[in-house]
Amino acid sequence: MTQNTTSQQKARLVLADGTTFEGVAFGALAPTAGEAVFTTVSSGYEEVLTDPSYAGQIVVMTSPEMGNVGITRSDLEANVPHLVGFVVRSLSPLPSNWRSQETLSEYLTRSNVAGLTEIDTRALTQHLRENGSQNGAIGTASRDELLAKARAHRDMRGLDLVREVTPKERFAWTEPSDPAFFASAQRADHHVVAIDFGMKRNILRRLVDEGARVTVVPATTSAKDILALAPDGIFLSNGPGDPSAVPYAIETIRELLGKRPIFGICLGHQLLALALGAKTYKLKFGHRGANQPVKELDTGRVEITTQNHGFAVDLETLPKNVRATHQHLNDQTSEGLESVEHGAFSVQFHPEAAAGPHDSAHLFAQFARRIRATQGAPAAS
CA distance 174 to 196: 16
CA distance 187 to 208: 9
Catalytic, out of 35, 190, 266, 328: 266
Instruction: Decide if 296 is catalytic.
Output: no
* DSSP H helical ranges for the chain: 45-50, 104-111, 121-131, 143-152, 162-165, 201-209, 223-228, 247-256, 267-276, 362-374
Residues ≥6 apart with Cβ < 8 Å to 130: none
Catalytic, out of 303, 335, 338, 352: 352
DSSP 270-323: HHHHHHHT--EEEEEEEEEEEEEEEEETTT--EEEEEEEEEEEE-GGG--TT-E
For 51-162, where are the E strands, in sequence order?
Answer: 57-61, 65-66, 85-87, 90-91, 114-117, 134-139
Instruction: Decide if 191 is catalytic.
Output: no
Instruction: Decide if 352 is catalytic.
Output: yes
**One-letter identity of residue 287:** H
Q: Could you list the active site residues? A: 266, 350, 352
